[in-house]
Amino acid sequence: MDALRARMRITCADATTLLTDYDEEALSPEDRGRLDDHLALCQACGAFLDQLRATTTALAKWGADQRSSAPPSMGSLLDMFRLSRDPQPASGPEHPGDASLNLAP
């Protein structure tokens, strides 16, 4: 086991702190080489790197989905609120209180 640790040159704790920079190709060539050696011998850190990449990909996709959907306008929110209270469209004298609310968008 000591021979294996000597070949790895870094601990799993050290490896996990370097994985984000590793994945973003922000490590020095020496640190990248040390981490490559570690990952070649450590299945647990390899699995952690796979999970990190999957999480990063999922978050990037989720963020893109969030940016692509515009938030509703104030007018559409008020329309949804009114419909939730009364499924009939609010207009004219049937809803005299609406005129005094001044809910313009």
DSSP string for residues in 63-89: HHHHHHSPPPPHHHHHHHHHHHH-SSP
89 domain-assigned: no
Which pLDDT band, with edges at 50, 70 and 90, does 98 fall under?
very low
Closest to 39 (Cα-Cα) out of 2, 61, 12: 12
* pLDDT value at residue 67: 60
Domain tally, the chain = 1
- Residue 55: pLDDT over 50: yes
Element holding 14 (H helix, E strand): helix 12-23
Distance, in Å, from the CA atom of 42 to the CA atom of 102, rounded to the nearest integer, reads 66
Contact at 8 Å (CB) between 13 and 35? no
96 domain-assigned: no
Whole-number CA gyration radius for the chain = 28
* More confident of the two residues 60 and 72: 60
**Residue bearing tokens 């999480």:** 55
73 domain-assigned: no
What domain range is 47 assigned to?
2-68
82 domain-assigned: no
Which pLDDT band, with edges at 50, 70 and 90, does 95 fall under?
very low
Q: DSSP letter at 10?
A: S
40-66 burial: b if 16+ Cβ within 10 Å, else e: eebeebeebbeeeeeeeeeeeeeeeee
